[in-house]
Amino acid sequence: MAGPYAAFLLIFAVYPIVFALVLVLLQWDLVTTPTFAGTDNIRLLIHDGRFWRAVVNTFVFLSIHVPLQIITALALALALNRQLAGRSFWRAAFFLPVVISGAVVAILWSNLYATDVGLINHLLVKIGISPVPWLTDPRTAMPAIAVMVTWKNVGFYVIIYLAGLQYIPRSCQEAIEIEGATAWQRFRYLTLPSLLPQTILVVTLSTINGFQLFIEPYVMTGGGPLRRTYSVVLYLYNNAFAYQKMGYAATIGVALALIIGIVVVVQRRVIGKAEAL
């Protein structure tokens, strides 16, 4: 009975992982026969300034995206959890961007961010603010991408928070209201602690997904300006399919997996300490 699942796991999970680990020790351009490279790829990675620039860019993206994702998703979940007209419609509407192709969303937001003809700058000019070069200024390019990614994925995390809100006992809500707690106190001392498991899940998933940032900079900026939106996965892709350095691309992938694992473990420990308090 377990045979089909075991075969699926071996073919699509175990084999790719083992193959990637083997590629770390090889030089291969997809055409010629692979040759043994030893630790050359690892040494190259350690001294590769472009890789570390991509790592820094990814952490900049996460520092903007993860807090913004949590705040936006929680705020929308609280709003959609109330009795309001067309609540089912609004819930579906906020989830719709999640199922739209990432490339389509990136093209749409590229037009919105356009300096001269973009809708966002058009509205800014209407209220007397100069146009902002959202995707061509190194200072605003990554924050602009972070906002777009948050908009696209927020519906998924809203569903997670809505599920958590449904499990807050009505008796607890009534008790804290009877005690005379204000709306802020109810949110601070009941809602937030009750949603801590959902917050841990949102932080973990948004961090893992954020480290896989690729489509947005690939379509919107190509990694520019001045490589400020050059993500780790975009650098991996270019090495694999533009430069045909499969061994080095696999080394970047393994390093990225290790970085994600370390960051997630640190996050869980920090959040776990906060939960214990």
The model's pLDDT over 235-261, given as tens digits with 9 standing for 90+, comes to: 999 999 999 999 999 999 999 999 999
The pLDDT score that the predictor gives to residue 276 is: 60
Pairing type for strands 26-27 and 35-36 reads antiparallel
Asked if residue 251 lies in contact with residue 42, where contact means CB atoms within 8 angstroms, the answer is yes
pLDDT confidence of residue 198: 92
Q: From CA 188, how far away is CA 30, in angstroms rounded?
A: 56
Contacts with 93 (C-beta within 8 Å, 6 or more apart), sequence order = none
Q: What pLDDT does 106 receive?
A: 95
Q: For residues 193-216, give the mean pLDDT.
A: 92
Strand-pairing partners, residue 201, are none
**How does pLDDT run across 93-149, given as a tens digit for each residue?**
888 999 999 999 999 999 999 998 899 999 999 999 999 999 999 999 999 999 999
Q: Average pLDDT in the 21-34 region?
A: 92
Cα torsion through 30, 36, 41, 43, rounded to 10: -170
The larger pLDDT score, comparing residue 91 to residue 19, is at: 19
**Poorest-pLDDT segment among 68-82, 239-253, 262-276:** 262-276
Does 56 score more than 90 pLDDT? yes
- Check whether 90 has a pLDDT greater than 90: no
